Structure 1
Amino acid sequence: MTYHEISLYRLFSQKLLETSPSSPQEIVHHLGAMQAQDYGMAKWAIGSRCGATEKEIEEAINSAQIIRTHILRPTWHFVAAEDIYWMLDLSGPQVQKMTISSAKKYDYDSKKLDQTNSKIEKLLAGNNHLTREEIMQELDIKKSSSQDFLGANIMMHAELEGLVCNGKMKGKQITYALLEERVKKPKTKLTKEEGLAKLAKRYFESHGPATLLDFSWWSGFSPTICNAVINAIKLQLNCIEIEDKIYYYGNQPFINYHLNKNIHYLPAFDEILISYKTREASILLEHQSKAFTNNGIFKPIIMENSKVVGTWKRSYKKDHVKIETEFFNETEMSKKAILFEGIKAFENYLENKIIIE
């Protein structure tokens, strides 16, 4: 297996080679957790894999089929409702250490955070969905740059405790609601070992071929823990060694697609790049600084035949959406016309006219 084949297989395992008939919730469940700090782009990450429109995905989020919360690494993720509790049980405690440490800078220790959670629970009880600003006003936390960091810490702590998650959108504003009012709590819990095994199997089946360090990066667990869990489920996975690295992937049958027209316009922070520690299989080293920065900002990307060839951005106009592209190498207009075909999926998703400039 070559790097090209690894990248092609990842497109397959991430359900990008063909638009899947799956629902938005099924796509999120398949991938385990999808990075979602850029809310608009994160919705397109789902839509690019199943053909659903933005409105349909928004409805799945508003109806709590898909939950947006902090989980795994300390960032926003989309998680399927059926996975939210066991994933929080598994990863919440380790991410919580970071939020508690950060909150101490504002004189909020664990006791004070717990007291604040009690107040938040009372505020949101009865399916009361409030924005963070509304919650902070009720907590008498003034709006300022430093207090905004405190507010983010308070709400992240509440999320990781399993108290709150995203509520229904209030216009264009994101709200919080009580998790147990959105998703019924299961009667049984997984052990930590069971949770780790489930998370690892889900990752390699939906993101493979990937390495131990890729899984460690994505999950937030140490390489030592990840190595132990991979050894525990190794018989349930396939593996291959390339340049002294072992890549693990699922047992699902793979059709070796050789498509001349394999073009994808993918969102910022898409799993196809961000879920791996190193990304050389999908993007040449000399182009990586054009697609993502050292401090973790990822741009929307254009992929052709499983390789990143450029970036794009969109802006909303009165009666259309404008798309601007930037290719890494000089590209002839005839070639661009072929590459521009890939944006039609985004046009269908938005249900809006797209003009490329």
Structure 2
Amino acid sequence: MPAERTNPAPRVLGRMRLASQGLLGDGFPGVPEAVRWMTAMQAQDLGSALWAVGQRVPGTAASDVRAALDAGTVVRSWPMRGTLHLLAPEDLRWILGITSDRLMNSTAGRHRELNITPDDISHCRDIAFKTAEVLKAEGAPGASREQLFQAFEEAGQITKAQRGIHLLGSLCQRAWLVQGPMAGSNGKVGVQQLFVPFGEWIPNSRELGREEGIAELLFRYVLSHGPATIKDFSWWSQVPLTEARAALKEVQDRLVEMQFGGTAYWLSPDTAAMLDDGVPGSRSLLALPGFDEFLLGYQDRSLVLAPEHAELVVPGKNGVFKRIMVSGGEVVGTWARTVSGKTIGVAPEPFAGWLGPAAERSFQAQGRAYLKFMAG
């Protein structure tokens, strides 16, 4: 029996996570397939999200991910933790049904400070729908944030001091609006999206009750993120631990439990089977984006990132994740995009202060792939 089966090292579990997330081997056949498998991918920073998908779908370009957003085969919204994620369109409504109440409760105090009432939110919904209808008649695919804010202001709804973004977020949390196609500007590729009525952009949604939905969310999280703990899932989804543990009882017969360091980790049978033959990827080196699910998607990141290096990835614990280099399942450094005149490049920032020749070649290959992807 391989030693990995009886006494796996943390980096082995890290490689298993790489495999679960489609970061080893052939990845996924297309952008929608990758996003659907991951269930929800952090996408607050759009450029990072594009590359996160690109690393899981070999041979694609950033334009392919933008095209998926334009076509509605992938959507970007605020399903959990108050941050933007990429999701399959049919999943957004039922996930919001699980997560939105808790998020709205957490923002209630801020809404009182901003003098936002339920009637204000309903008023803004009606304004947004009317604005979208007018723009649609003029041939526009959706309304920009600025257009909606202007319409709100004209109707007496103040948008300054973050009031506007809270109103807009509330409409999305209630599945009245959703971000739709990308908003270009003067022929240039934009980073904003247009807003459209939810039902028009996503006509077909799955309907799951709360208990059934939490069980499915947990099951899919473990398939795509395992090995992971129930606390990892609870943090990631913001589902209370009591409900998460109840959901685990419903799906644990389809999963594998593995003890590591006195803690129970859950993973798919396919991922667990890798331990019998040796987990691949021991010589892999990946240049992943900031905010990638490989690191961000867990409450406890110490399996793949040594605690003494954590502030090198998230300086000052400010919530902004730098791009990471992952070698053999372990975060070994960060990397940066460089600009010198008209030349764009990449530069490694290894924790050890240097990369060996093989690792340097692998990083440079990753850098070329990144630059080609973002230019495409």
Q: How far did residue 336 of structure 1 move?
A: 2.5
Q: Is the 8 A contact 2:27 2:57 kept in 1?
A: yes
Q: Find the counterpart in structure 2 of residue 193 from structure 1.
A: 211
Mapped to 1, the partners of 2:280 and 2:247 lie a distance apart of 34
Q: Find the counterpart in structure 1 of residue 57 from structure 2.
A: 50
Alignment of 1:216-231 (within 5 A): 216-231=234-249
Q: What is the CA RMSD across the aligned residues, in angstroms? A: 2.2
Deviation beyond 3 Å, 4+ runs, structure 1: 253-261, 315-320
Q: Find the counterpart in structure 2 of residue 290 from structure 1.
A: 312
1:326–1:227 Cα change, 3 Å: same
For 1:251, which of 269, 275, 278 is the aligned residue? 269
Q: Is the 8 A contact 1:25 1:65 kept in 2?
A: yes
SS at match of 2:182: coil
Q: How far did residue 349 of structure 1 move?
A: 1.6
Deviations 1:112-136 (A, max 9, x none): 1121111112112346512212211
Q: Find the counterpart in structure 1 of residue 153 from structure 2.
A: 140
Q: Find the counterpart in structure 2 of residue 60 from structure 1.
A: 68
Deviations 1:292-347 (A, max 9, x none): 24232111101111111111122567755322321111215635234323323313
Q: Is the 8 A contact 1:48 1:345 kept in 2?
A: no
Per the normalisation by structure 2, the TM-score is: 0.87
Q: Which amino acid aligns with 2:160?
A: Q
Mapped to 1, the partners of 2:108 and 2:122 lie a distance apart of 11
1:205–1:21 Cα change, 3 Å: closer
Identity between Structure 1 and Structure 2 (%): 26
Q: How far did residue 237 of structure 1 move?
A: 0.9
1:128–1:350 Cα change, 3 Å: closer
The number of equivalent residue pairs is 349
Q: Find the counterpart in structure 2 of residue 301 from structure 1.
A: 324
Q: How far did residue 77 of structure 1 move?
A: 0.8
Matched, 1:204 2:222: yes
1:240–1:259 Cα change, 3 Å: closer
1:343–1:18 Cα change, 3 Å: farther
SS at match of 1:269: coil
SS at match of 1:168: strand
Q: How far did residue 64 of structure 1 move?
A: 0.7
1:251–1:332 Cα change, 3 Å: closer
Q: Is the 8 A contact 1:100 1:157 kept in 2?
A: no
Q: Find the counterpart in structure 2 of residue 130 from structure 1.
A: 143
Q: Which amino acid aligns with 2:371?
A: E
Q: Which moved more, 1:340-349 or 1:81-90?
A: 340-349
Matched, 1:313 2:352: no
Deviations 1:244-284 (A, max 9, x none): 21001112254434445301111111000111001111111
Mapped to 1, the partners of 2:75 and 2:119 lie a distance apart of 27
Q: Is the 8 A contact 2:149 2:159 kept in 1?
A: no
Per the normalisation by structure 1, the TM-score is: 0.91
SS at match of 1:147: coil
Q: Find the counterpart in structure 1 of residue 182 from structure 2.
A: 169
Q: Is the 8 A contact 2:90 2:204 kept in 1?
A: no
Q: Which amino acid aligns with 1:263?
A: L
Q: Which moved more, 1:203-212 or 1:331-340?
A: 331-340
Matched, 1:13 2:26: no
SS at match of 1:184: coil
Long gaps (5+) in structure 2 = 1-7, 185-189
1:332–1:203 Cα change, 3 Å: closer
Long gaps (5+) in structure 1 = 353-357
Mapped to 2, the partners of 1:210 and 1:237 lie a distance apart of 11
Mapped to 1, the partners of 2:181 and 2:160 lie a distance apart of 24
Mapped to 1, the partners of 2:279 and 2:342 lie a distance apart of 37
Q: Find the counterpart in structure 1 of residue 203 from structure 2.
A: 184
